[in-house]
Structure 1
Amino acid sequence: MSLYEILLVAYLIVAIMLIGFVLIQQGKGAEAGASFGAGGSNTVFGSSGSGNFMTRTTAILATLFFLISLIIGGITTGANTEADEFQNIEAPVEATIPVVDESDVPVSDQTDGNDVPTSDPQ
């Protein structure tokens, strides 16, 4: 596995974790609900609440996301790709004429229109 593939996997994992941490965080207006009893879940993360842990983790994941994206961009910028035949429009195209094989053409037994029997009214 190359460095590029490892970075792509790490990039995907960091992006999914970053999305998860952003969605889990409470908004700035959530402190108003804490006075009515909604702040009881913050004690799981310690006395300072989940804000400090969540914001630090989000900042670290965002920094990793940007660093990995810059590294992947630097790796792909230096990579040379081969030009396809459709991208090289200066090369002349060779015209090929299909060859018809004479043995493939069906031949009928009738050579003239005179061989057709006619009905004789009697």
Structure 2
Amino acid sequence: MLLGILLTIHIIVCVALIAVVLLQRSEGGALGMGGGPTGFMSARGAGDLLTRVTWILGTVFFVLSLALTLMAGRERGASSVVDRLKIDSIDPNSLNQPAAPAPAQPAPTSPNAAPPPLTAPTPTVRNPFVGEEPAAPAPPNP
């Protein structure tokens, strides 16, 4: 929830920062307005205002980026993908066993009987280095 709110604020700040940067002139003036050097919306006054707003929005952008990165990292957790899958507990000898034949299911006796539950086929692991036939067990060392 908080990540969504911060991400929304981040997008708004990005759009505002883009708009403020595009409003500035590359020669140092702002909004392309002429006029005297005095007054709030003169070229100099608008340039100072847009420069200050750019600095503020840039700082908010970087702070939000850092906060989003830290919060997303905490949400994922400190464990790696391999630790979460628990690959160490898999027995490699059980992976190459032939599939057991499925037990025969009796036909339903009445027309209103529920169909039997669906069963998934047994997964098979194919090793491209061994071929299609199962590998022979290694001879024991003397």
TM over 0.5: yes
Deviations 1:58-116 (A, max 9, x none): 111001101111211221232227747995432426647375899xxxxxxxxxxxxxx
Which protein has the bigger helix share?
Answer: 1
Aligned partners of 1:15 and 1:65 also within 8 Å = yes
* SS of residue paired to 1:57: helix
TM score, norm. by length of structure 2? 0.49
Task: Give the equivalent residue in structure 1 for 2:52.
Answer: 56
RCO higher in structure (CA 8 A, sep ≥6):
1
Higher Cα Rg, which structure: 1
Identity of aligned residues (%): 29
Provide the alpha-carbon RMSD of the alignment. 3.4
Task: Give the equivalent residue in structure 2 for 1:89.
Answer: 87
Deviates more, 1:87-96 or 1:7-16: 87-96
Deviations 1:23-48 (A, max 9, x none): 221113x66xxxxxxx5x24596233
Counterpart amino acid of residue 27 in structure 1: S
Change (3 A) 1:78 1:99: same
Q: Which runs of 5+ in 1 are unaligned?
A: 32-38, 103-122
TM score, norm. by length of structure 1? 0.55
Change (3 A) 1:46 1:88: same
Task: Give the equivalent residue in structure 2 for 1:46.
Answer: 41
Aligned pair count reads 92
